[in-house]
Structures are given as C-alpha cells and as structure tokens.
C-alpha cells in the first residue's frame, strides 16, 4: 500500500471538516521550514550552524548559531502566507504581528525553533516545536491574545532532527508521525494514531538536579531506583537525551515518563509553558498519555506571561498519575 504524504493527510483532514484550508497551509508551511532546518542541522559546522551566535535571548540564554538560523527560517516562511495574525518564538522578546502589507489570517503561531541547543555541537538529536492558537476576531494580536490555556490549541507538532527527520503532529484527532523521505524530500505518514503504553519501566529526568527536587519527585525516583527490591517490585531503566523532542519522541514510540520538575534552583521549572509544555502535552494526551505540572493538567493552566516556565511530568498515563498523586498527598 502506498503511504500518504503529509499533504494528502492534511487534505483528508480538511475534507473531513477538521481543519480549514488556512490551517492546512500553515502546517504545510511549518513542515517546509522544518525541512530547511533539517538540512542546516545536517550540514553541521559546514553550514555555519555550530558554535555560539554571541548573543543572548530574552531569557538570558546564550544563543547558538543554529538557534538564530532556525528562528529566521521559521519567521521568513511564515510572515507572508496570509494565515497568521501574529507569531512569537522562544528566541524573540515580543510578539510579531503579521506585517500590515501582507494579509492577516486567523491563527497565532508559537514555536521553539531549535529545541535541545546544548546538543547541536555534539551531534545529538535536536528539533523544532510548534503550537497553533486562534486569534479572536477583530482583536489586535498583542501578547494578551496569546495567553490562552493549552486546551485551546488547534494544532501542535514537533520535528526531531535525528538519524531520520521525524515530524509528529496533531490537529485534535490523534497524534500522527511522519518520516522525511530524503529522496523525494516529502514527509510520509509512518505512524498512524500513536498510542503511548499506559505502563512503563523507563523514566527520563536529569538526576544531576536530585538534591534540589521536591519530596514527591524524590520519592517517585527513589522507588524506581529501588527496582525489584523496592515498593514497585520491578526494575526501571533511565534515559535522558537533554533534547525534549528526542525524549518525548521516545515516550511516544515505546512509552515512558519524562519529567523536568520544579526544584530549588528552577523554582518555576525549566521548560517553557507556551513553546514546549503546551504543544507536547497536547500531543501526548492525543496519544493516550497524560501531562501535568505535578499537580494540574498542563492544558488547563492559564498562562500569565509569554515566556513563562513550568514543571513538566508527561508520558505513560499510570506513571504520570502516580507522580501527580504523590504531589497531591505531600
């Protein structure tokens, strides 16, 4: 059987009335930008992507060349298409409304252009994460219109630039995975209706922060580490890529729990609600998993600022529920 391309997949969604032509074109545009970023990532130092850009982003983080390049590729691809009212990125201080000489569309785009920047120079998978919201009609797209809870997302997705380039997207009817065919340079549907197993014996957390964790997280990991001899009665395995895209892709592929909790140093957590936690939570829930900040469902959190950070616990439902219950009882 011939596999569907991303274009065919999206046209089917449009015919079924799930998305309109504008949203279809927007997702196609983002996918095209991801292909361009994938090419830059592949070139490595030959394409000038390695090394520091010598600048800081709004959050005081040192930008890598590839952070800046990826941001520009996404900006350039999206400003003239006519489907966006405004966009904003982890690497930009302010919201960027669509220039007035282009038509303004009904959507708002948020993205983390290059996730896993610390891995660029060491040849480990990185990626791009995006989230799409609706701009209320007749409203000037300023920061406030972006501050919608994640459950309002109409689409979300992420690309992983690894041994293969993968794209995972949802428009609210399941999570689907596509593989970039390097011969035809098209995304081809390879994972239909992704389903995260409810149970797992694999956890992902940066254990170098252990001394700073809150008691419920410490308890959960201690119990995993105790393995067969502990209260869980089974051995656990650990993975930590330090690129959320790669860690979440693994969770979608074979189950697992991924955590970046708040701790005494990162008091609000480390990951960004709007560019990382919300889109990933939407995808994970669409794949039958769960996503909380330890206490609350991520998709129900009302954001109060664009670059807000948040604790993240996501993946196999029964494990996420367990961590969340440890917080509730603490």
Q: What are the residues binding Mn ion (CB under 5 A)?
A: 90, 112, 114-115
Site for ligand AHG in 163-182 (CB under 6 A): none
59 binds, among Mn ion, ligand AHG, none (CB under 5 to 8 A by kind): none
Q: If binding means CB under 6 A, how many residues of this protein chain bind ligand AHG?
A: 11
How would you class 283 by CB atoms within 10 Å of its CB: exposed for 0-12, middle for 13-18, buried for 19 or more?
buried
CB of 111 to Mn ion, least distance (A): 9
Q: Which is nearer to ligand AHG, 176 or 260 (CB)?
A: 260
x/- binding map, residues 57-86, to ligand AHG, per CB under 6 A?
------------------------------
**What's the closest the beta carbon of residue 114 comes to Mn ion, in angstroms?**
5
Nearest distance from C-beta of residue 21 to ligand AHG, angstroms: 31
Q: Residue with CB nearest Mn ion?
A: 115
Q: Judged by CB under 6 A, does residue 55 bind ligand AHG?
A: no
Q: Is 263 in the site for ligand AHG (CB under 6 A)?
A: no
- As measured in angstroms, the least distance from the Cβ of 6 to ligand AHG is 24
Q: Helix/strand/coil (H, E, C) string of the chain?
A: CCCCEHHHHHHHHHHCCCCCHHHHHHHHHHHHHHHHHHHHHHHHHHHCCCCEEEEECCCCCEEEHHHHHHHHHHHHHHCCCCCEEEEEECCCCCCEECCCCCCCCCEEEEEEEEECHHHHHHCCCEEEEEEEEECCCCCCCCHHHHCCCHHHCCEEEEEEECCCEEEEEECCCCEEEEEEECCCCEEEEEECCCCCCCCCCEEECCHHHHHHECHHHHHHHHHHHHHHHCCCCCCCEECCCCCHHHHHHHHHHHCCEEEECCECCCCCCCEEHHHHHHHHHHHHHHCCCEEECCCCEHHHCCCCCCCCEECEEEECHHHHHHHHHHHHCC
Q: Are 306 and 88 in contact (CB under 8 A)?
A: yes
Among 105, 116, 157, 261, binds ligand AHG (CB under 6 A): 116
Binding status of residue 242 toward ligand AHG by CB under 6 A: yes
Stretch of residues binding ligand AHG (CB under 6 A), selected from 109-117, 144-152, 158-166, 300-308: 109-117
Residue 118's binding partner among Mn ion, ligand AHG, none (Cβ under 5 to 8 angstroms by kind) is ligand AHG
Q: What torsion, rounded to 10 degrees, do the Cα atoms 259, 260, 265, 268 define?
A: -110
Of 12-20, 114-122, 226-234, 300-308, the segment contacting ligand AHG by CB under 6 A is 114-122
**Residue 206 partner contact from ligand AHG, Mn ion, none using kind-dependent CB cut-offs of 5 to 8 Å:** ligand AHG
Subset of 180-209 contacting ligand AHG (CB under 6 A): 206
Stretch that binds ligand AHG, among 22-30, 46-54, 94-102, 240-248 (CB under 6 A): 240-248
Cβ at position 160, least distance to Mn ion in Å: 12
Residue 264 interacting with ligand AHG (CB under 6 A): no
Q: Name the one residue in this structure whose structure tokens are 């997949």.
A: 9
Q: Give 83 or 278: the residue with its C-beta nearer to ligand AHG.
A: 278
Cβ-in-10-Å burial (0-12, 13-18, 19+) of 239 comes to middle
| Residue range at the interface with ligand AHG (CB under 6 A); choices 10-18, 113-121, 153-161, 195-203 | 113-121
By a kind-dependent CB cut-off of 5 to 8 A, residue 92 interacts, out of Mn ion, ligand AHG, none, with none
Question: Which of these, 10, 6, 64, lies nearest to 35 by C-alpha position?
Answer: 6
Residues that bind ligand AHG (CB under 6 A): 112, 115-118, 206, 242-244, 260, 270
């Amino acid at each position: 059987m011939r596999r569907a391309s991303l274009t065919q997949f999206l046209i089917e969604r449009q015919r079924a009335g799930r998305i309109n032509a504008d949203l279809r074109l927007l997702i196609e545009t983002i996918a095209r930008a991801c292909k361009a970023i994938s090419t830059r990532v592949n070139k490595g130092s030959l394409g000038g992507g390695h090394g520091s850009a010598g600048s800081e982003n709004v959050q005081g983080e040192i930008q890598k060349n590839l952070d800046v390049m990826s941001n520009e590729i996404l900006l350039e691809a999206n400003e003239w298409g006519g489907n966006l009212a405004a966009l904003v990125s982890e690497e930009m201080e302010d919201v960027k409304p669509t220039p007035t000489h282009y038509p303004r569309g009904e959507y708002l785009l948020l993205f983390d252009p290059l996730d896993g920047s610390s891995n660029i120079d060491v040849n480990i998978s990185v990626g791009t994460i995006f989230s799409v919201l609706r701009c209320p009609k007749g409203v000037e797209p300023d920061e406030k219109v972006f501050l919608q809870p994640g459950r309002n997302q109409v689409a979300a997705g992420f690309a992983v630039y690894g041994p293969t380039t993968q794209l995972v997207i949802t428009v609210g009817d399941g999570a689907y995975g596509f593989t970039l065919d390097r011969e035809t340079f098209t995304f081809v549907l390879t994972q239909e209706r992704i389903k995260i197993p409810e149970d797992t014996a694999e956890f992902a957390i940066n254990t170098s922060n252990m001394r700073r964790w809150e008691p419920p997280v410490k308890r959960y990991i201690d119990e995993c580490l105790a393995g067969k001899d502990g209260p869980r009665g089974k051995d656990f395995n650990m993975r930590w890529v330090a690129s959320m895209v790669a860690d979440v892709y693994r969770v979608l592929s074979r189950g697992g729990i991924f955590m970046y909790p708040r701790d005494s140093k990162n008091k609000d957590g480390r990951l960004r609600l709007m560019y990382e936690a919300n889109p990933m939570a939407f995808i994970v829930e669409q794949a039958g998993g769960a996503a909380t900040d330890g206490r609350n469902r991520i998709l129900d959190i009302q954001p109060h600022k664009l670059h807000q950070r948040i604790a993240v616990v996501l993946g196999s439902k029964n494990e996420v529920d367990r961590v969340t219950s440890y917080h509730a009882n603490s």
